[in-house]
Structure 1
């Protein structure tokens, strides 16, 4: 570009020189024309000189030079414009390549960062899995140890059971007699402490079935068991269900019983007659007035005398009568529970309280109260416990397997 500008400067100088010389050549012609006009005395103008054609050719040449210069300048400008566009296009392409490279680097960096994160998570997960695996391995080891211990204990228990079965087979008769003796004790306990005839009979019948397995060797014992069973069958049991039903009827009828009414007896009091007062003097009038006042006061104080029967019940408020009836229900319920359990003392104590409250607080003229009092008296005198036989005198003594024999068998 520097060479082209230098060349363009030289051409401009050449054109300038040419124009200057052309202008200098034409100047004498312009100065000589006035002289011709002077010589001719104002006649016609002189004919043009043959040299006038050179001037036209010079103008064409100058126009051609200018056109060439303009074309050259246009070419230079076009070349510069092309070079500038090419440079701009190159820069644009470079920027696009740089942008693409930057985007690729950013994507690579993002992918690398994501891969690093995934790698960290994967590493942590692998560590957790390794820890869990180690924990499972330890748990499995402990479970195997426990199973080994349980298996050893099971084998030991199985050995003991086998040994017990061997001993039981060796001392079968003694074990049967021992079990029968235990059933004797159950029968005695149920009959003596609970009055449970049914339970005692079940125990004795089970003992008899065990003795039957031993055959004729236990004839005497089976006879004793049969005597005990017959004695229990002869026991007459109180009808507790009927007695419990009577108590239930009393509980339901408590609200129908009428309470006693308090009666008060009013008797007039005797007022003693006083002697006539002496009214002859002032002192007599004064003494008479004092005696009259004392008599009036005494008469007012003893005018009414209230007498009560022996320890009558006081008049109850409605809420007090409600509590009385509720206490009666509780006592009757206690008596019923004691009856079903066979507790004769608690049964009779509860009915004694009920009878006392009926006599003290309820009206004797009420038919429902009289019927309830009769029922309570009848239930109180009834037998709650049956007359149980003494099974200890009838049953044989309890026998246990010989310990020495079992020890010898174990050895």
Structure 2
């Protein structure tokens, strides 16, 4: 628009002197007025052009400053983005390096695993039944627990026999010392005396049930002395004897005296009788517990006290009491405690053989 205004002003200025003399007015006074109006229009146009140029320059300056600020911010953002990308590249390179190392370790482990698998397969081809040897060692350890913890001879002998059968199935001549040791351990256990613990405890329990039916001993009175003949004699020389006899006859109506020799046992009260029977049952129960715990001293002491109380407070002439006393005497002689071997000789040999074979597996020989 500024250029157009300048062009219009220029055209107006150039058009003014080109007017022909015929077009000028005839009167001389109107000509200066027209010239004055033309100059005013030129001035107004120039002012408008200047204003337009000022606004345009201001807008341009303001836009230029905004563009510079935006460019600065954009440069900062680009720098930050470049820093972030650099960090990401560094972390990515580290992760790629770590992944590469992990991949190498994985390959190494896979190679080692393949080598171990090949060794195991090779050993299985050489000794395919070695697991039976380990099972035999486990059976021997279980036999030891049965013997030392539960004192179960039958189970221990059975477990050792099972271990010998598995070693026999291997058909390996190098294991003959182990089979020999197993045979010795089994022979030792079979030579030991066996106790029927269940049978003993059942007998004691049956005797305990009969205590309530046993009769107590009654009071036994000694035999009274025979009284002498109190008949009065007619012989005058026996006057003293006749006087005594008459005195005895006279006193019999008031007091009767009989002489008895021997001690008299008093009866116990009903409450004491209850305590006696319960204590006797307790002693038989202690004997049952001593059988399972293999406490020989406690077993014998319990049986001995029960036998003494039975003879002291109960009727020994009664058949039930007599039977119970005889059974206690038999049970008192039972042996319930034994010395068991501390260790099986087979166990040490089996542990040695298994250790040697594990070392072969580790070394690959």
TM-score, with normalisation over the residues of structure 2?
0.45
Q: Rg larger in 1 or in 2?
A: 1
The structure, 1 or 2, with the larger RCO (C-alpha pairs under 8 Å, 6+ apart) is 1
